Structure 1
Amino acid sequence: MNWIISGALVLTTIGTIVSILMLLRYRPIRGAYSVSLRHFTLLLLVYITVILSFSNLYLGLELLGFEVLKEGNSHVEGTVNHLIEDIIYFSAVTLLSVGYGDLVPVGIGRMIAMVQALFGYILPAAFVVTSVLQVTKKEE
């Protein structure tokens, strides 16, 4: 069972890296508007991929026995569905903001949450940079 969870963790990490590289290498279709609906859709898909990848990472560590999240002063408890729900919520809040404080990372979860928050700041910047570079190349 641990091999399956470890394999899933590796695959989600690779998926996150590939999604970010896709965003950086994406070139919008040339036309009247250099930033297209396709570009925004790609950004949305990258956000969803990163949220679900980090959720899978948190869940995998929880299932391997590492304490990653606390709710209040106690370990996140409840059914597996509740755990998945809490982890996806925490992952989305960490990526899209700095967090609300209702779920708090502990142990290795702190390092992972810092990396995820960094991705949350880098993704919009990468989106803008790729868009501006395309406009600049188009004008030359």
Structure 2
Amino acid sequence: MAESEHEHLCRYSDEQGFTCDLESNDSGWCYWHDSSIIKDSPSDKEKLQEYARNGGMLRGISLKHADLAGIDLVNHHHKHGFDLSHADFYRADLTNAHMFNTNLEYASLMKADLTEANLHNANMKHCNLLGIKWQSTKIKNIDIGDELTQEIQARKAQDNYDLVLALDLFEQSEEIYRDLRKHAERAGMFKLSGRFIQKELTMRRYQMKKPSLARLMSKVVDLFCGYGEEPLKVVNFSIGLILFCAVLYFFSGINFEGQQYYFDASLPFTTNLNHFFSCVYYSVVTFTTLGYGDITPIGISRLIAATEAFTGSFTIALFVVVFVKKMTR
């Protein structure tokens, strides 16, 4: 008898061990997990809300093309929202839907209409976000994770040498980040949009030929300033370059008032330390192109100084541009 009853239950199960205890229809799935049933009747929205309130299994439910405009899927008076992970909302109408704090991990919102929907605090890690309509969607504190599903799949495709598939997936990732960036900008969430534009341009770089000058330049810009979104990267690079050049001056030598300063193992530690600090001072002066003239380079230090001065002038200008861009948003 128990086996017979079990055979009539929905066959939904996932890798975390979750199963559905609703009675199945002829397809072997329950009403909510049956992907062949389009939930677009006037009563489906109310039924789904009641099903959720009564603790029904929401993981993996199929809501493709569903008409859920204005639905309330907020788990009121509870710390955690409803678990809609692995759910399929392909092309679903979720306009003005209330989905605050919902768990949409591994779900698919591909081409769903989220116009004016409330997704504050939603967990959207590994969620398929391709082609979503984001107009006026509330996305404060959403968590999309460090990588999109398409990014992860693209890297796997690269590992399998399927470069055509990888290119397509990186292009999808770029589109998703672009849409998110534009929406965040419209909503005045500039810190979030800054993160999205970095990811957007990174995905674009991955689509460039390797090796190529365009890809190299894109990587350099990322390393220098995070595509204009991280002024501290410029500061850290400047400090690193100053110290690096100071070490080079310390071993190649500089001239101060007719006396050469460089590392000499025969000299006392304090003397060498004083020479090194003089090299640091000279490196700062050269980097900032102040050029006091009290210290001059000798030998190969001249080439190092010329390179540092050129790089320093460029880096300072870059910092000003990036800093002003961030502060004027």
Q: TM-score range by the shorter chain?
A: 0.5 to 0.7
- CA offset at residue 129 of structure 1? 5.8
Q: 1:111 aligns with which of 300, 303, 311?
A: 303
Larger Rg: 2
Mapped pair 1:49 → 2:240: yes
1:75 counterpart SS class: strand
Identity score, percent: 28
Alignment gaps of 5+ in structure 1: 1-17, 29-38, 62-67, 135-140
Counterpart residue number, 2:254: 69
Distance between the aligned counterparts of 1:60 and 1:76, measured in 2?
Answer: 9
1:114 counterpart SS class: helix
Mapped pair 1:87 → 2:279: yes
Distance between the aligned counterparts of 2:248 and 2:220, measured in 1?
Answer: 16
Q: Which has the higher helix share?
A: 1
1:70 counterpart SS class: strand
Normalised TM-score (structure 2): 0.27
Is the contact between residue 71 and residue 104 of structure 1 (CA under 8 Å) also seen in structure 2? yes
The residue type paired with residue 296 of structure 2 is V
Q: 1:59 aligns with which of 218, 232, 250?
A: 250
The residue type paired with residue 288 of structure 2 is L
- CA offset at residue 131 of structure 1? 7.0
Distance between the aligned counterparts of 2:235 and 2:286, measured in 1?
Answer: 16
Counterpart residue number, 1:40: 231
Distance between the aligned counterparts of 1:103 and 1:133, measured in 2?
Answer: 36
Distance between the aligned counterparts of 1:93 and 1:86, measured in 2?
Answer: 11
Q: Against the structure 1 CA distance between its residues 23 and 87, is the aligned structure 2 distance closer, same or farther, given a 3 Å change threshold?
A: same
Q: 1:84-132 CA deviation, whole Å, 9 max, x = no partner? A: 1100000011001242111111111111101100011111333456679
Q: Which has the higher contact order (CA 8 A, sep 6+)?
A: 1
Q: Against the structure 1 CA distance between its residues 100 and 132, is the aligned structure 2 distance closer, same or farther, given a 3 Å change threshold?
A: closer
The alignment yields a C-alpha RMSD, in angstroms, of 3.1
Counterpart residue number, 1:101: 293
Distance between the aligned counterparts of 2:290 and 2:222, measured in 1?
Answer: 23
The residue type paired with residue 249 of structure 2 is Y
The residue type paired with residue 80 of structure 1 is N
Counterpart residue number, 1:22: 223
The residue type paired with residue 235 of structure 2 is L
Distance between the aligned counterparts of 1:95 and 1:19, measured in 2?
Answer: 19
Q: Against the structure 1 CA distance between its residues 128 and 82, is the aligned structure 2 distance closer, same or farther, given a 3 Å change threshold?
A: closer
Q: Against the structure 1 CA distance between its residues 110 and 98, is the aligned structure 2 distance closer, same or farther, given a 3 Å change threshold?
A: farther
Is the contact between residue 231 and residue 322 of structure 2 (CA under 8 Å) also seen in structure 1? no
Alignment gaps of 5+ in structure 2: 1-218
How many residues align? The count is 103
Is the contact between residue 69 and residue 104 of structure 1 (CA under 8 Å) also seen in structure 2? yes
Is the contact between residue 256 and residue 294 of structure 2 (CA under 8 Å) also seen in structure 1? yes
Counterpart residue number, 2:114: none
